[in-house]
Structure 1
Amino acid sequence: MRAPIGFRISNRRKSLKISQASLARSLGISASYLNLIENNKRDIGGALLNRVAAQLDIDIDELAGRTEQKLLQDLEEAFADPLVESLAFRPDERRELVAQYPASAAALARMHRAYSSATAHADAYADRLRSDPLLSQLLHQILSGITAVRSSAEILEEVTDLDEAERRQFLSAIGRDTRTLSDVARNLIGQFETSSQNRRSVSPAREIDDLIIERQNHFPELESVADVLRAEIEQSGQFGTATLAALLESKFGVTLLVGGAPNDPEFPGQYKFDSARRAMWFQGASTLATRQFQLARLYGELAGADAIAHTLESATLSTPTAHRLASRAVGSYLAGAMVFPYARVLDDAEASAYDVDHLRQVYNASFEQVAHRLVTLRRPGEEGIPFGFLRSDPAGRLTKHFPLPGLLLPNSGHACPLWAIYGAFRVPDTMLRQVVRFSDGSRYLFLGRTVQRRSGSFREQPVLSSVMLACDVLHADRTIYGSGLDLSDLAADIPVGPSCRLCTRRDCASRQEEALSPGGSRSEIRAPLVPAEFGLGDPP
């Protein structure tokens, strides 16, 4: 879902007391067209958006509402919750809420986040209760107490002819039961050695997503450190595996080992750093692109440890696991910035119309590494196309993602089966492109391609994954992948959703799961192969 740019233009224009006709003349467009833009009935981007920002004297990031994109995505997820998804929301309700009542929208998103976190914690508690007889017994006592309180309360509420003595008797019973319930609850809590987690996110992955979105996929401090480290490396020779290996050995005493068995026989990866032995091991079948990137990451983590630590200081990371994964992600970002210097890769990307295969050859990199770097080209005033990134395993499970504000990506599990990230498995080693349209009218260019990790032996199963880049269709004509596409032909768009259980399309022949419905009630959107009258499992 896109940010409500039109509403922001309208509000800003009115605050400056500029008439619609006057602004339209200064922009070189008709007043009727500006009216459509202000009512969010026409997309706006590129040069026109820059002219509007200049005329209204407002920063383009603020006008485009990029800081609000995450809020829109959070509301999209909240409104798809099974508890509320059946309500009759208007198509633009979330967009208008963010535009006109941003504090209320943020409050709703925070409450849904807290609700999701509480649900996750409840599941964890349930798992523990099932394996602990004492805790299970305490839980049954709590349920019994709740039942007793509810029964007394319902009598007080529904029976209107109780005399005062009877009413006092039920009130006394409620008071007694609630005191007992409170004691049992304290005993239950005492069994768990937990601290307050009011501000904890649902999962480490979600916390890392929040960090990335908060920084708009761009870390200026790491970019500066990467430039310094790259220059330092190039003083010793041409940037590449040989120079990196020599510097790691001379400066940090790290030995490079290629081929042979890893130190840990049960380790299945292609590379591993043994900090005790100061050795960086690579599987013999690993590509030069993998070796270059991982050596750069190790060099960056050793030489730029302070910058990595400083980057994570302000992040909300509530567990050691979250901190470890975030440190890994930041280290990989630093490596990408070293392998692909910002100004140079941006110039090369623009010159080649974001041809990923061309950039692979220029930088001796893999398709996935180039895709990662394109996501991070967000330096103010020197921005590339804003991309989102997804990776899937052959089973369809999403294993890595860098969110694109406005595009609703499932936090886990599977995405829409019609997305290019899954279609790419049908045409290995070939770029698959799609122009897709979501039910809210937002349109994106999806680019999917398979990537494969080399197997080390005949007995080893090759690991195949699929990678997808996604950008707003407004930027499609800036890429080589937009060539030959009629981007104005809406009939050629592929209708998609975020995932089956979050999708509201009633006529989708590719639906694999029923849509979420509250309370286990009959779903209004049924799987295509199951007729509505065949109510297996549905209540009568």
Structure 2
Amino acid sequence: MAANKLYIGRKVRDLRQANRATQAQFAERLGISVSYLNQIENNQRPVSAGVLVALAEKFRIDLAELSGGEGDRLVSALSETLTDTLFDGYTPSLQELKLVTQNAPGFAHALIAAHRAYRHNSEQLASINDTLGRSLAAAETTPYEEVRDFFHFVDNYIGDLDMLAEALAAEIGIGDADPGPVLSGYLERHYGVRVARATQNDDLVRAYDPEARLLTLNPYLPAPTRHFQIALQIAQLHAEAVVDSVAAGAGFRTTEAYEICRIGLHNYFAGALLLPYRRFMAAAREVRHDLDLLAARFGASLEQVCHRLSTLQRPGQKGVPIFFARIDRAGNITKRHSATRLQFARFGAACPLWNAHQAFESPGRITRQLAETPDGARYLCLSMQVSRGGRGFRQPQQHYALALGCEVSYAENFIYADDMDLTNASAYDPIGISCRICERTQCASRAVPPLKGRLVIEHNMRRTIPYSIRPAGDAPQS
């Protein structure tokens, strides 16, 4: 199979402009003609291997950053948007999608936002009999969706916050000892804030009294959660200016989204403080991404470890590209990020054949799966169940599945792949993104018909699926 051609015109143009070079100057340093550079920047010609090597040597950049798949998230979101029946009669090629997302990412984001608003309004109007007299304001994009998309499209990495947290971790010695005393000691020495335990066991997790300089924590929190809540308080005091700057620069439409984003950024700093970037990435490589060992080494929870692995996207120092998601029992994806070609559906449930759903059947252990998506990409998928909530007989707990994985080409970095036959095509389970956009027409686990495609109903024959699916655009048989 021929290798995919690499069109990275916008990245090359941004790199040239960052170096304040004209096309003639830049082309001379690369050893190519000005006309060839102009064609590259306008995505009229792909980048050759020789040009890639020259870019790496002359400008000291990581080839993975140029040829990586960070644009896949936007391509996936735009592709899913255009599968809506609203766009019947138009099915763009992958190359068309890439050209739009690479050359006009702002336009792609605008189209996705417009489609999201359209869907919300359509759903609201569909249930108008039940909501008559209510405001249609609820049909707008929710603040949580705005914030989710913000983190999704910045690659789940906030450089200013991450480096600030890493510097503080080195200053106070995070990673060298039990983080609890280190964090609480720093909080009291530098900010005069004492940490105390609440006297009652209710649904309180944390409470901060700024006047009394007192942080109160639930006495029954597990150690990793307690450490995280202290780190979160440090984030609010130590990183407030950076958090406010990042949130203000995101351009949210509502105050609610702005405030929700600030919470997310405080959480980001807390995770980066407990799991400092370079130290954590080095440990992950050392133990080959053994999640239990990483959790034990840093005094963290499995969820904290998985989430942190998904943020290792620092330019020039990227970790293994992974996907990460948290799913509740109803199949709702409450956290998600992917630095791989696998992108999660923005609407609807995840594929029922994905092993993430099996985590609830096997509490206490990590489930493994080799999976293949319709585009031919293959993945090592891991899933596990985690529980959150209060302790005690009458305190409710929430149970979630964590899903983590990488493309098979990176599987050797994971200890979980050691005894798996990665070369055996029959070992891979066929999975999709979600039924509404899945291309597999013969999947017995299909829950709903695809948005695009004609249904053929056969009254005199019953198969596993009660209908056949003809690709969109195919003429019906006479």
Q: TM-score, normalised by structure 2?
A: 0.77
Amino acid at match of 2:449: E
**Aligned CA distance change for structure 1 residues 100 and 291 (closer, same or farther; 3 Å):** closer
Instruction: Give the Å deviation of 1:450.
Output: 0.9
Once residues 90 and 417 of structure 2 are traced to their aligned partners in structure 1, the CA distance between those partners, rounded to angstroms, is 37
Secondary structure of residue in 1 paired with 2:433? coil
**Aligned CA distance change for structure 1 residues 246 and 64 (closer, same or farther; 3 Å):** same
Secondary structure of residue in 1 paired with 2:281? helix
User: Are 1:305 and 2:240 matched, yes or no?
Assistant: yes
Secondary structure of residue in 2 paired with 1:361? helix
Amino acid at match of 1:73: S
Deviations 1:423-461 (A, max 9, x none): 111111111122211112122221111112264211234
1:53-452 to 2 correspondence within 5 Å?
A: 53-54=52-53, 59=61, 60-61=63-64, 63-84=66-87, 87=89, 89=91, 93-99=93-99, 102-103=102-103, 107=107, 110-121=110-121, 202-234=141-173, 238=177, 240-261=179-200, 268=203, 270-275=205-210, 278-404=213-339, 406-452=341-387
Instruction: Give the Å deviation of 1:238.
Output: 4.6
**Aligned CA distance change for structure 1 residues 131 and 359 (closer, same or farther; 3 Å):** closer
Q: TM-score, normalised by structure 1?
A: 0.69
Once residues 391 and 112 of structure 2 are traced to their aligned partners in structure 1, the CA distance between those partners, rounded to angstroms, is 46
Instruction: Give the Å deviation of 1:95.
Output: 3.5
**Aligned CA distance change for structure 1 residues 527 and 73 (closer, same or farther; 3 Å):** farther
Amino acid at match of 1:8: Y
Secondary structure of residue in 2 paired with 1:280? strand
Contact 2:340/2:406 (<8 A) preserved = no
Secondary structure of residue in 1 paired with 2:86? coil
Contact 2:78/2:97 (<8 A) preserved = no
Instruction: Give the Å deviation of 1:108.
Output: 5.8
Amino acid at match of 2:7: R
Amino acid at match of 2:76: Q
Contact 2:389/2:396 (<8 A) preserved = no
Once residues 9 and 164 of structure 2 are traced to their aligned partners in structure 1, the CA distance between those partners, rounded to angstroms, is 41
Once residues 462 and 331 of structure 2 are traced to their aligned partners in structure 1, the CA distance between those partners, rounded to angstroms, is 19
1:468-483 to 2 correspondence within 5 Å?
A: 468-483=403-418
Once residues 483 and 325 of structure 1 are traced to their aligned partners in structure 2, the CA distance between those partners, rounded to angstroms, is 41
Question: Which of structures 1 and 2 has the bigger CA Rg?
Answer: 1
Contact 1:8/1:63 (<8 A) preserved = no
Instruction: Give the Å deviation of 1:396.
Output: 1.8
**Aligned CA distance change for structure 1 residues 419 and 69 (closer, same or farther; 3 Å):** same
Contact 1:218/1:376 (<8 A) preserved = yes
The structure with the largest helix share of the pair is 1
Instruction: Give the Å deviation of 1:292.
Output: 0.8
Unaligned runs of 5+ in 2: 13-26, 34-44, 469-478
| Higher mean C-alpha displacement, 385-394 vs 312-321 | 312-321
Once residues 379 and 116 of structure 1 are traced to their aligned partners in structure 2, the CA distance between those partners, rounded to angstroms, is 30
Deviations 1:172-231 (A, max 9, x none): xxxxxxxxxxxxxxxxxxx99x9xxxxx98333343244324432222211221133224
Tell me how large the CA RMSD over aligned residues is.
4.0
Once residues 101 and 294 of structure 1 are traced to their aligned partners in structure 2, the CA distance between those partners, rounded to angstroms, is 38
Once residues 367 and 105 of structure 2 are traced to their aligned partners in structure 1, the CA distance between those partners, rounded to angstroms, is 37
**Aligned CA distance change for structure 1 residues 321 and 523 (closer, same or farther; 3 Å):** farther
Secondary structure of residue in 1 paired with 2:85? coil
**Aligned CA distance change for structure 1 residues 515 and 274 (closer, same or farther; 3 Å):** farther
Contact 2:162/2:272 (<8 A) preserved = yes
Once residues 81 and 413 of structure 1 are traced to their aligned partners in structure 2, the CA distance between those partners, rounded to angstroms, is 13
Unaligned runs of 5+ in 1: 18-37, 40-48, 136-190, 195-199, 534-540
Aligned match of 2:18: none
Instruction: Give the Å deviation of 1:106.
Output: 6.6
Contact 1:449/1:468 (<8 A) preserved = yes
Contact 1:512/1:527 (<8 A) preserved = no
Secondary structure of residue in 2 paired with 1:257? strand
**Aligned CA distance change for structure 1 residues 201 and 219 (closer, same or farther; 3 Å):** farther
Contact 1:444/1:472 (<8 A) preserved = yes
